[in-house]
Structure 1
Amino acid sequence: MLPVARWSMKGTPQAALVALVASLIPWLFWFGAAIATLVTLRRGMAPALPVIVAAAVPAGWWWTQGDPIPLTTTLLTVLMAIVLRARTRWSEALIVGVLAGAAMIQIGVFLPKADTAMMLEQLRQSSTDVAAMLDELAASGVDATQLAELVISGVTGLVVMLTAVACLALGRSWQAGLYNPGGFREEFHALRLSRRELLIVVALVAFGTLLGLPSVGMLVWIPLLMAGIGLTHGVVGRKGMNGLWLVAFYVLLITTWPMILIVLFVALIDTFADFRGRLAHND
């Protein structure tokens, strides 16, 4: 993919063409978002605007077909790229991305076009277990339709946010590969939330809870998760450990929920303990 990124950076027309074609192809929108991110990180928002538009227009067409993921992913990725370029801090870019993603969930961007109540009724008729569960929710005073819409929006928003983070990382790695070899590895290994940023995350959790905004709680843990992943990469890299340790780490992270909680907890402690700084001091 790096040769394609290198060719794209030869000029705005090339980058716009790649972003346009990638965003038109189903399930390749992430490549167009990453190209727009690369140009934004390297040149700034104004010079990258034609490329962003080239990626956004086909993604917008997919939205009209009922799929909001390509466009929302592109917009979130570019937004975080703008913050990362201006502030050079991954944690700040991630927090801004979380706020934007939560706002999208809250205003109903990811709600399905189909009638949710009708979908639930079809599920009720097709399964006695589902019918029993819906009856229990109704007896508890829970609106099953609102709950279903919240779950659908939350899961879709979470997928979009994680995809946007992956696109941002891909664009940043291309930038480092083309202009600053090893820069992305060093930057990602140092990813860590400061105490002020952790306080912001806690405040967002409290804010979302008090005001009844579940969308905030659905995404606000992502910066801490990425800090934990950065910590793992940093420790493995500093200790010169075999890359299989990272493979095992990601397998556990993807397949086991407790591993996610452990990573979040360790990242929380690292905000105060600075494990990588201690390792560097010991070395």
Structure 2
Amino acid sequence: MQALARYSLSGPWQAVLVISLLGIGAWILFPLMYLSGALLALVAMQMGPGKASQVLLGGLVAQGIAGTVLMASPSVALALAAVIWVPIVALGGQVWNRASLPPALATVALLGLVAVMGFYLLHEDPGLWWQERLEHTMAVRAPDGLMPGGDEDLAALIGRVAAYLPGAFAGVWVMGLAAGLVLGRWLQSCLYRPGAFGIEFQAWRLGKRWSGVVAACLFVASWRTDLAINLLVPLTVVLSLPAFGLMHALLQGRAGAKIWLGLLYAALLLMPHLVVVLAVVALLDGWLDFRARAPKI
């Protein structure tokens, strides 16, 4: 991974080559798009947003050409790349300008909120919009209506799920942006300042104003429950991240630290909804400062 990062930083064309190949590979294995975003974020953090923008432009051109040749649809290939690459360059540039990762991650949380609100402003009934498209997709894939459980069960399932898809897609999007920034910052630390990433990430605490943002989203539930949930999903994804740094900071140097951290990550894989608990812990830490209260080793 570090060798790939070094090669990407050796020049703009090398970065375009690596990021473009990963972007094309993401058509088959989508997580590769997050890896390409991490390398693009690394370029922005280390070389500045100007150089990163050049790499971005070259990568988008390559995606368009590859999409035309391999998919006969350059617009799909470009959209898939642009939705990750364009914001990641801006966010990586923010890290480069401020020499700090947490403000950029806070911007990611705000982007998630803006994405959900924007979708609601564009569509009078977002749930119905998604429901119509899901039903159309199902009809295309199963024209004879041969779906397990019958059409009524499927229609009921689609109706229940559709209302919360704006938040789900926003959550996946911000998770990709946050993962790209974190991985890019970690690679930068490994290459140029070993250990700096751990210090920065473990010291990250949420400001108290984030409690107000969450409270405002909860207040929206008295008006539109679906909107409140859709806002909280991407917000929770990002606000849970400081809790990981907190856990690492509290367990650092203590007996069995690796075991406890391993159990935490295993529990998250088995029960992803635990990110809600982590987000609450991170919000409480903004008020109580658990690091200062923890007994010293």
In structure 1, C-alpha distance between the alignment counterparts of 2:250 and 2:185, rounded to whole Å: 21
Pairing partner for 2:94 from 83, 94, 97:
83
Cα offset for 1:91? 3.9
Confirm or deny: 8 A CA contact 2:112 2:235 kept in the other structure: no
Who is 1:243 aligned against? 258
**Counterpart AA for 2:17:** L
Which runs of structure 2 are paired with 1:1-283 in the superposition (5 Å)?
A: 1-26=1-26, 27=29, 28-58=32-62, 61=67, 64-65=75-76, 68-105=79-116, 106-107=118-119, 115-119=133-137, 126-128=147-149, 131-132=152-153, 134=155, 144=159, 148-203=161-216, 206=219, 213-214=227-228, 215-239=230-254, 241-257=256-272, 259-279=274-294, 282-283=296-297
The one-character-per-residue Cα deviations of 1:180-208 (angstroms, maximum 9, x if unpaired) are 11111111111210213443444455468
Q: CA deviation at 1:84?
A: 2.9
1:148 Cα deviation from its structure 2 partner: 4.7
1:199-258: per-residue Cα shift (whole Å, max 9, x none)? 344445546875774542221112321011111121122536442322211010121256
Q: Matched residues in 1 for 2:103 and 2:171: separation?
A: 18
Which letter does structure 1 place at the counterpart of 2:197?
Answer: F
Distance 2:256 2:218 in 1: 36
Name the TM-score, length of structure 1 as normaliser: 0.79
Instruction: Give the gaps of 5 or more residues in structure 1.
Output: 138-142
In terms of mean alpha carbon deviation, does 24-33 or 269-278 score higher?
24-33
Q: Percent identity?
A: 23
Aligned amino acid, residue 39 of structure 1: V
Deviation at 1:68, TM superposition (A): 5.0
**Cα deviation per residue 1:19-58 (whole Å; 9 max; x = unaligned)?**
2222122332223211110011112211221112233445
Structure 1 counterpart of 2:179, which letter? A
C-alpha separation between the residues in 2 aligned to 1:220 and 1:164? 13
| CA RMSD across the alignment | 3.6
Show structure 1 runs of 4+ deviating over 6 A: 108-112
Three-state SS of the structure 2 residue aligned to 1:192 is coil
Bigger mean CA offset, 192-201 vs 265-274: 192-201
| Count of residues in correspondence between the two structures | 274
TM-score, with structure 2 as normaliser: 0.76
Paired with 1:234 and 1:199, the residues of 2 have a C-alpha distance of: 26
With over 3 angstroms needed to count, the CA separation of the structure-2 counterparts of 1:240 and 1:9, relative to structure 1, is farther
Using the TM superposition, give the Cα deviation of residue 80 of structure 1 relative to its aligned residue in structure 2, in angstroms: 2.8
201-210 vs 234-243, greater mean Cα deviation: 201-210
Query: C-alpha displacement at 1:151, in angstroms?
Result: 3.6
